Amino acid sequence: MRNQILPLLLVAASITANAQQKKDSLYTRTIEDVKLHKTGNPNNARVSTIKSQLDVMETPQAIAIVTHEVIEQQQAQQLSDVVKNVNGVYITSARGASQDSFGARGYTFGNENIYKNGSRVNSGIFPEVSGLERVEVLKGSAAILYGNVAPGGIVNMVTKKPLFNFGGNIALNYGSWNNIKPTIDIYGGLTKNSAFRVNGSYENKESFRDIVQSEKHYFNPSFLYNISDKTQIIIEADYLKHHFTPDFGLGGLVLNTTTNESKLNTLLGINKFPGATWQYQTNEMLTSTVTLNHEINSNWNFNTVAFFQDYTRDFYGTERIQWNLQNNGDYVWKRTLNKQLQKQKYGSLQFNLNGQFNTGKLNHKLLVGADADYLQADTYSYQLQKQDGTFADAGNNFVYGTNGNTSNGNILLSDENTWKSGEMLNSRQKDLNRIPTRRVGIYAQDLIAITDKFKVLAGLRWSYLENKNTIVENYLNNTKTYKASSGNPKESAFSPRVGLVYQIDDSFSTFASYSNSFNPNTGRDINNLPLPSSLIDQYEIGLKKNLWKNTLAFNITAYQIENSSLAQTSVFDKNGNINGDTNIKEMTGATRSRGIELEVTGNPTPNLSINAGYAYNNMVYTDTPDSDGSFVEGERLVRTPANTANASIFYTLPKYVKGLKLGFTAFYTGDRLAGWNNLKDKNGNPKTNRMYEIGDFTTVDFTIGYQFKKFNIQGRLGNIFDVVDYNVHENYSVNPINPRNFYLTFNYKF
């Protein structure tokens, strides 16, 4: 990554089982959680994402964990393959299939919902999964711990940590479309108080899609040092570089360009690629973390985590494939060309103090913490050189037609000869938009045991968010200006949380909880003042039950999320006239998300692994004004499936053919709505339908493997029934799912 500043490296509060064997008496959350990895039961684990000493069974919230054993046996290639194992979390879509995208409980995850080792990371990449120890998913509101996050939940990637015993593995993976990926993982002790770990991978693959290809490099070193029996420091860094073809898929069929009425494009084969043959995107991310963990005494400990991230996204290509219906029945795409460079520098610091104490007959588990972060987001725009030698702004108005024609961008869906692209055009930087943002939060929560069975959790967070003025540097006329942020320049909010837990015994607990979060808005009110954040209430009830000698978790959760202050286009302006400016808004809309989630997870026998779940969600607009541009009451939000389900069963034969493993996985995604939600006209009536339905689908994989001493070979046949379906972003990025495919892994452990 160019212009890198080697970051300071972070501070983390995790300790390994092997470190504990080295007489490290730290009372902390362990990465190598013996109970979890032996039984596969997430209810037995300590979860680093909740920042406290609470067990899963006494936490009034749904929590899911996908261990590295599951990641390896399913031969997951990207993060979306991992989180599909979490009931209620579903795969969404991104522009140009350029990153992993998720949603839960009706809300799409953004940068605020993706974390690595408890620190926020940019979601605009495909994270490398070979370096993950496990993935923790905290469902529902996480505002008290992490501030302004979407209420669906957060995904926390926990990376592999150093171990004192020497070991590791090397592997070679090979799959469909010339997919080759070697990986390496080495760890061991350096001294009696220090240990290291280094893992890395290289991946090069093509695709069932014409032209599309990908190359990825990943490197992840880490170092652990026990300063004393009570103090430990872990220093980690990782670097990822991913160069690939941005792929907007088949595009949507637009039946009416005025209303954006569209339908699914089934006229093209799933392999067809109408973009430029040379287009590219390069994502680079460098992160570093330093974690310091210290035990004050047997009841009190603290940890501090410092984190730095440097992110770059370099994009150049065609985008937004919209085939517009013509009078002759053919479809035409006005192909456009864009070039953009994004750079982000992000740093954060957090401190957490945990303690246990009694007041009379009441037992307390207290968490007090604070965090702060700073983000500098730079976006560089470009001008491209046309065929006549002049330069024009890249983007929606720069056409790039047959053979790179820069005066007529129209290409025909029915004639692939018109799709031909010319040479990559010369470019020059036009301007820089720099957006600085900073956040600060202070939080406290206490779990009070009224009796051995009845417990109360209460907590409160204060958050401060500052959006500084955007700095605009124009390189063509050498000027520098400032413009107001599109959001509220300064705002603060309180996020409360209350929960009740009735723990019948160590294997059975029930809970109910209420939490509140906030979501910043863009736009202005009728008096040209910035809009306040939307406040979102969430109610949740559930039960957690351990079965089969505590080896199997059976969990059920029901929830309701209400946003009663949704920003909507204002009906009138400040003079009482009908408002025609969609940037002028009022806090009059409302949404409601309801659902239920069920999961069964664990290893009931040492040779059998089970992971299954089902989730139902219904998220709709419940109240909107009768103004032009407002949403329609009762309409389900786009991109949110009503039903999802997952099932995974792996069994290793203990005799006859000892070491033979058989596995089966199935993932179901219910019907979804693509496009955009409908809007009302000036009379309050729905306009022409802008949505179209994407049908449900189920993919089934079969796995067979064999382990002999330190060698392991495993193969997976994916999507064995060759199901065809799509991930759709709005109406222009329509990406087919992978057809039938295979993936082989050859692994040697030492």
Structure confidence by residue, pLDDT tens digits, 550-580: 999 999 999 999 998 887 777 677 777 767 6
Q: 322 forms bridges with which residues in the sheet? A: 252
Q: Is residue 584 part of a domain?
A: yes
Q: Identify the band that residue 663 occupies on the pLDDT scale cut at 50, 70 and 90.
A: very high
**Cα–Cα distance list, 549 to 43, 381, 544, 604, 635 (Å):** 12, 60, 14, 8, 45
Given this model, what pLDDT does residue 571 score? 67
Q: Identify the band that residue 29 occupies on the pLDDT scale cut at 50, 70 and 90.
A: very low
The rounded distance, in Å, linking the Cα atoms of 427 and 388 is: 14
Assess contact for 449 and 402: CB atoms under 8 A.
no
Q: Is residue 604 part of a domain?
A: yes
The rounded distance, in Å, linking the Cα atoms of 258 and 150 is: 32
Kindly state the average pLDDT of the residues 700-724. Answer: 97
The rounded distance, in Å, linking the Cα atoms of 687 and 632 is: 9
The two tokens of residue 358 are: 């009694």
Q: Identify the band that residue 714 occupies on the pLDDT scale cut at 50, 70 and 90.
A: very high
Assess contact for 589 and 568: CB atoms under 8 A.
yes
**What count of other Cβ atoms lies within 10 Å of the Cβ of residue 434?**
17
The rounded distance, in Å, linking the Cα atoms of 595 and 140 is: 11
Residues above pLDDT 90, as percent of the chain: 74
Assess contact for 682 and 578: CB atoms under 8 A.
yes
Q: Is residue 515 part of a domain?
A: yes
Q: Is residue 640 part of a domain?
A: yes
Q: Is residue 487 part of a domain?
A: yes
The percent of the chain in helix, strand and coil, each rounded to the nearest 5, is 5, 60, 35
Which is more confident, 676 or 229? 229
Given this model, what pLDDT does residue 24 score? 32
The rounded distance, in Å, linking the Cα atoms of 605 and 38 is: 10
Given this model, what pLDDT does residue 575 score? 78
Q: Is 604 exposed, middle or buried (0-12, 13-18, 19+ CB in 10 A)?
A: middle
Given this model, what pLDDT does residue 38 score? 57
Q: Is residue 539 part of a domain?
A: yes
CA atoms within 13 A on the CB side of 340: 13
pLDDT tens figures, 473-513: 999 999 999 988 777 788 999 999 999 999 999 999 999 99
The rounded distance, in Å, linking the Cα atoms of 35 and 39 is: 6
Which is more confident, 330 or 581? 330
Best mean pLDDT range from 108-117, 144-153, 696-705: 696-705
Given this model, what pLDDT does residue 674 score? 87
Question: Is the pLDDT confidence value at 599 over 50?
Answer: yes
Structurally, the chain folds into a number of domains equal to 1
H or E segment to which residue 163 belongs: none
3-state DSSP assignment of residue 81: helix
pLDDT tens figures, 9-18: 332 333 333 3
Q: Is residue 529 part of a domain?
A: yes
CA atoms within 13 A on the CB side of 197: 26
Q: What is the dihedral of CA 202, 206, 212, 213, to 10 degrees?
A: 20
pLDDT tens figures, 206-232: 999 999 999 999 999 999 999 999 999
CATH of the domain at 285: 2.40.170.20
Looking at 31-35, 385-389, 472-476, which range is the least confident one? Answer: 31-35
pTM: 0.92
DSSP strands (E only) in 606-725: 608-623, 643-652, 660-669, 672-675, 691-694, 697-708, 711-718
Q: Is residue 12 part of a domain?
A: no
Question: Is the pLDDT confidence value at 399 over 50?
Answer: yes
**Phi, psi angles (nearest 5°) of residue 39:** -105, -20
Question: Is the pLDDT confidence value at 87 over 90?
Answer: yes
H or E segment to which residue 352 belongs: strand 336-359
Given this model, what pLDDT does residue 518 score? 87
Residues 6+ away with beta carbon under 8 Å from 496: 144, 459, 460, 461, 514, 515, 516
Given this model, what pLDDT does residue 1 score? 44
Given this model, what pLDDT does residue 35 score? 52
Sole residue written with tokens 């009706």: 106
Which is more confident, 143 or 676? 143
CA 230 distance to own-chain centroid:
35
Given this model, what pLDDT does residue 36 score? 61
Residue 507 structural domain: 17-749
Sole residue written with tokens 């190359």: 215
